[in-house]
Amino acid sequence: MAEAKGLSKPVKLKKDLAAFLGATSLPRTEITKKIWDYIKKNKLQTKAKNGKPENAGKFIVTDAKLLTIFKNTKSKSASGKVTDLTNIKEGQTIDMMQIASVVGANIE
């Protein structure tokens, strides 16, 4: 069997993400899927920035459990865009496109 590469290759999870997912190593694709499963199960999406959860939309409402992984996120993309969620509070939202930054900031 061929060795997994790229997004399918298991990566080591930092402490908070490992506790959130209940695993110490997973592929990035599986990490993202499990985070989205949690968001959908708990109806943490909204159509408006900092809106109330309504189970639809492009913004993710931060609850206490997501806060543990979101607060670890401070990164800069290749294009220079900074994603800094270190001061995010429960009830605030992030754009769904920032999930990749959250994953990247919580793996080793």
pTM of the prediction? 0.88
* pLDDT band at 54; cut points 50, 70, 90: confident
- The percentage of the chain sitting over the pLDDT mark of 90, rounded to a whole number, equals 74
CA atoms of 28 and 8, how far apart (whole Å): 7
- How would residue 1 be classed by pLDDT, with cut points 50, 70 and 90? low
- Which of 4, 1, 46, 59 is CA-nearest to residue 29? 4
Q: What is the DSSP letter of 91?
A: T
pLDDT at 4: 67
Q: Position of tokens 């496109």?
A: 97
- Cα gap 65→38, rounded to integer Å: 10
Tell me the C-alpha distance between 21 and 35, whole Å: 8
Give the model's pLDDT for residue 58: 93
47 Rama class: left (phi>0) / alpha (psi -120 to 50) / beta: alpha
Residue 20: count other Cβ atoms within 10 Å of its Cβ: 18
pLDDT mean over 3-15: 84
**Count of structural domains, the chain:** 1
Each residue's pLDDT tens digit, 95-106 = 999 999 999 999
Question: Which residues span the domain enclosing 71?
Answer: 10-105
Q: What is the CATH number of the domain that holds 84?
A: 1.10.245.10
